[in-house]
Amino acid sequence: MSKNDKKNGSLQTLKKVLKIIGRYKLLLALSIVLATLTVVLQLYIPILFGYAIDGIIAEGKVDFGSIETYLFKTLILIAIASIATWVMNAINNRLAYHVVRDIRAKAIRQIERLPLSFLDSHGTGDIVGRVIADTDQLSDGLLLGFTQLFSGIVTILVTIFFMFSKNVVISVMVIALTPISFLVARFIATHTYAMFQKQTYTRGLQTALVEEMVGNQKVVKAFGYEEKAEARFDVLNKELKEYSRKALFYSSLTNPCTRAVNNVIYALVALVGANRIMAGGLTVGGLSVLLAYANQYMKPFNDISSVITELQNALACAGRIFELIETKPERKDSPQVMDMAKGNVTIDDVSFSYNKEKKLIEHFSLDVKPGTRVAIVGPTGCGKTTFINLLMRFYDVDAGAIKVDDWTITDVARHSLRRNYGMVLQETWIKNATIRENIAFGKPDATDEEIIKAAKEAHSWGFIRRMPKKLDTVINENSLSQGQKQLLCITRVMLLLPPMLILDEATSSIDTRTEVKISEAFDKMMEGRTSFIVAHRLSTIRNADVILVMKDGKIIEQGNHETLLAKKGFYEKLYNSQFEHVAV
């Protein structure tokens, strides 16, 4: 990407940000007006104090009248400035937090509509980062940065204006000397940068080591690796110490150095100012104003340079957020609602692949009569789960069509299709909520009797009953064992009684004894219903009406358990490996 493109990109992003802020145009305008007002007032107040001080000349030569007037004026301006500052801060807050809220609300709506291909290819951490951290950074950097930048520029301009109104020579001198402070800061920053990089790199190594060792502490202990881990940690720790010490020290030189430059400028103002007063070109009050300005003058400059880095950072974050928000969502849903299915599933010459270079499912055809039990077996990566993705329309087929009864599934509303399936996946998902909410996920109005009945059928009632608050116990991903979570997910489906069922390794973490009991319940439930079962435990699938043996995206064998065994093909090999010892 050339530099120009990059600039255009940032400009585009900025435009989009402005569009989001657009709703709050009035607030933004008000904030800018108030910022200008407070800056001018805050800078004008020292001048009034200067006039007041000019009224105090010496013993007996004090003009109380003018002092009183100036001080009274000051009091009013101080009050106005304070109120204006507070209102401005409140507005900026409101602006920032509302924009963040809006962006996040947009993001979640987008997440619910994004094609799974996007979500599958971006890690959860990545997207969470965009929704949380990047959005915060955007509001901090862009909105607050913007107001700071604005008031910084106004401060500089107004200060220069006021200084010139007091004394031209001194003002020119201050402006001419300012760059020295920048040069010093720049010099330090460039020389510290390398040290910071080394520090970041070493810290990264150390964090990685900690994550590995502490994250797997039990393995470390089982092999008695503790001392070696400590030794490795110590080496990095010592290295980090050296780099951190230097990075911290060098970077902390910036403040004292720029302050020293500033102090020299201050002294020069005092020197030249004093000479001007003696020459009659300046008053003492005027000098005190100039000194106050000389003290503050550097601050907005330093602020602006840090704000600019913030802004660049914020724009990068905004870019990532917009990438999420602007990704094309799933194809628009058809308004057509299909009826509750009888369970006739036809797959007609379907082809599909996740990426165009690597073909996966090709010319796949299958006709499933209502009430059929279809089992899918095969080695990892053969396309079992992909098949499920297509049935549920998590992904759309590249070619061909899938029909349920006589509805082509791409022609009906997704919800109306998905309501026909009960799905249990190997990767269990538990909402951070009560057990009741988790079970009644698909049927929020279920009564307790219904829930308990489903739980008993799915054999989850045993552990639910023992939970401290039974159905009202709040659970999360970590509070249950993998097997218990799977039982809960099965209960969820038991409660729904959908016309069709998809089980993708649904009982992989449940011991076989419980599994047999659950499958009895499934059997009862699935009577007359179509079901698709993916499993690696052959005992689970042997009762299926049709077994599809898949390999590399194709069905290589098809039939029931007996016929497939008789064929002495891939299935037979797979099946017999389980019995090797029995056979001997």
Partner 1 sequence: MIRLMKYIKGYEVQSILAPLFKLFEALMDLLVPIVIARIIDNGIANGNSAYVWKYFLFLILLAALGLAFSITAQWFAANASVGFATALRKDLFGHIQGFSFSSLDKVGTDTLITRITSDVTLVQNGVNMALRLLLRSPFIVVGAMIMSFTIDVKCALVFAVAIPLLSLVVAAIMFVTIPLFKKAQGALDRVLGITRENLTGVRVIRAFCKEDDEIADFDEKNNELMRLNEFVGRISALMNPLTFLMVNVATIFLIKQGAIQVSIGVLKQGDVVAMYNYMAQMIVELIKFAALVVTITKGLAGANRVADVLDIEQGMEYPTSENKKNKKKNNKKDKKDNLTAVKFEKVSFAYDTSGEEAVTDINFTAKKGQTIGIIGATGSGKSTLVNLIPRFYDATAGSVIVDGKDVREYGKEELLSKFGIVPQKAVLFEGSIRDNLKWGNDKADDKQLWKAIELAQATDVVKGKAEGLDYHVEQNGRNLSGGQKQRLTIARALVRQPEILILDDSSSALDFATDAKLRSAIAGLDKNMTVFIVSQRTSSIRHADNILVLDDGCIVGNGTHDKLMESCDVYKEIYYSQFPDEMKKDTDALNNKRVNGKEVTV
Q: Scanning residues 501 to 520, which ones bind partner 1 (CB under 8 A)? A: 509-516
CB atoms within 10 A of CB 247: 20
Range in contact with partner 1 (rule: CB under 8 A) among 214-222, 302-310, 349-357, 547-555: 214-222
**Cβ contact 54:285 at 8 Å:** yes
Burial class (CB in 10 A: 0-12, 13-18, 19+), 401: middle
Range in contact with partner 1 (rule: CB under 8 A) among 12-20, 23-31, 320-328, 413-421: 413-421
Residue with smaller CB distance to partner 1, 146 or 441: 441
* Alpha-carbon gap, residue 14 to 536, rounded angstroms: 52
* Alpha-carbon gap, residue 94 to 163, rounded angstroms: 35
Q: Considering the complex, what minimum distance in angstroms separates the CB of residue 263 from partner 1?
A: 4
Range in contact with partner 1 (rule: CB under 8 A) among 307-315, 349-357, 412-420, 548-556: 412-420
Burial class (CB in 10 A: 0-12, 13-18, 19+), 406: exposed
* Alpha-carbon gap, residue 525 to 544, rounded angstroms: 15
Question: Among residues 25, 259, 369, 568, which is the contact residue for partner 1, using CB under 8 A?
Answer: 259
Q: Considering the complex, what minimum distance in angstroms separates the CB of residue 180 from partner 1?
A: 13
Contact status: 22 vs partner 1 (CB under 8 A):
no
**Cβ contact 572:563 at 8 Å:** no
Residue with smaller CB distance to partner 1, 156 or 291: 291
Residue with smaller CB distance to partner 1, 14 or 414: 414
Contact status: 222 vs partner 1 (CB under 8 A):
yes
Residue with smaller CB distance to partner 1, 93 or 365: 93
Site for partner 1 in 136-195 (CB under 8 A): none
Residue with smaller CB distance to partner 1, 234 or 323: 234
Site string for partner 1, 100-129 (x = CB under 8 A): xx--xx-xxx-xxx--x--x----x--xx-
Structure tokens at 348: 């007609």
* Alpha-carbon gap, residue 213 to 256, rounded angstroms: 41
Contact status: 249 vs partner 1 (CB under 8 A):
yes
Contact status: 481 vs partner 1 (CB under 8 A):
yes
DSSP track, 255-292: HHHHHHHHHHHHHHHHHHHHHHHHHTS--HHHHHHHHH
Residue with smaller CB distance to partner 1, 41 or 311: 41
Range in contact with partner 1 (rule: CB under 8 A) among 53-61, 156-164, 354-362, 522-530: 53-61
CB atoms within 10 A of CB 151: 21
Residue with smaller CB distance to partner 1, 226 or 411: 226
* Alpha-carbon gap, residue 188 to 184, rounded angstroms: 6
Q: Considering the complex, what minimum distance in angstroms separates the CB of residue 246 from partner 1?
A: 8
**Residue 482 neighbours by CB under 8 Å, 6+ apart:** 428, 509
Structure tokens at 3: 């530099």
Contact status: 274 vs partner 1 (CB under 8 A):
yes
Length of the chain: 584
Q: At what angle do helices 284-326 and 3-21 cross, to 10 degrees?
A: 90
Residue with smaller CB distance to partner 1, 149 or 284: 284
Site for partner 1 in 357-396 (CB under 8 A): 379-380, 392, 394
Question: Among residues 343, 383, 483, 553, which is the contact residue for partner 1, using CB under 8 A?
Answer: 483
Contact status: 200 vs partner 1 (CB under 8 A):
no
Contact status: 419 vs partner 1 (CB under 8 A):
yes
Which residues are registered as beta bridge partners of 264?
none
Q: Which of these, 519, 128, 546, 84, lies nearest to 345 by C-alpha position?
A: 546
Structure tokens at 401: 């069509």
CB atoms within 10 A of CB 408: 15
Range in contact with partner 1 (rule: CB under 8 A) among 7-15, 23-31, 205-213, 300-308: 205-213
Q: Considering the complex, what minimum distance in angstroms separates the CB of residue 313 from partner 1?
A: 19
Contact status: 86 vs partner 1 (CB under 8 A):
yes
Where in 429-583 does DSSP place strands (E)? 433-434, 474-475, 500-504, 530-534, 546-551, 554-559
* Alpha-carbon gap, residue 188 to 182, rounded angstroms: 10
DSSP-assigned letter for residue 341: P
Residue with smaller CB distance to partner 1, 197 or 432: 432
Site for partner 1 in 277-336 (CB under 8 A): 277-278, 284, 287-288, 291-292, 295
Structure tokens at 98: 């509302």
* Alpha-carbon gap, residue 80 to 42, rounded angstroms: 10
Q: Considering the complex, what minimum distance in angstroms separates the CB of residue 328 from partner 1?
A: 17
Site for partner 1 in 438-457 (CB under 8 A): 441-442, 444
- The number of residues that bind partner 1 (CB under 8 A) is 147
Residue with smaller CB distance to partner 1, 246 or 554: 246
Site for partner 1 in 224-243 (CB under 8 A): 224-227, 229-230, 233-234, 237-238, 240-241
Structure tokens at 6: 């990059």
Site for partner 1 in 549-578 (CB under 8 A): 577-578
Q: Considering the complex, what minimum distance in angstroms separates the CB of residue 291 from partner 1?
A: 7
